Amino acid sequence: MNKIAVELVRELSNKLESLDDQRTAELVRTVRAAIVRIDSPAAVDPMLGVESGSPVGYFAQTAGMFADEPFERPAQGTIKERDDRQKQLCGLFGSCQGDAEDLDAFLAINREQRLLSRTPIEL
């Protein structure tokens, strides 16, 4: 074994000793997945000169296949304008999810809580 491999084995062994069972299993899965990835031959596309994971020549064979197709983006419709109540909801919650009914419910609960906080407690 070369020096780097020995250091890696030592480092991995020390790390495994310091982990709980769950983290140990996680690390073992990660290392095994890395070994499988290294052992799997990746396809090299000669047109790209890089490992692509695709069959050799795939990009050369498929490039430009749809060049003559008339791709058109259909109309996306119009955006519904928010009313003042919905804008108020966005300002209060930092989100525009929900509607005016949510806002009314929130404001009613808020009013009740404020009234309760001002009511003296009788002992």
Euclidean distance between CA atoms 59 and 44, whole angstroms: 11
Rounded to 5°, the CA angle 30-36-55 comes to 125
Task: Output the pTM of the full model.
Answer: 0.34
Q: How many residues does the chain have?
A: 123
CB 111 within 8 A of CB 97: no
Provide the residue-wise pLDDT of the chain in tens; the chain has 123 residues.
Answer: 788 888 989 998 999 899 898 989 888 888 888 777 777 665 554 555 555 566 667 777 788 888 888 888 888 888 777 667 666 667 666 665 655 666 677 777 777 777 776 666 665
- The full set of domain ranges for the chain reads 1-44, 84-118
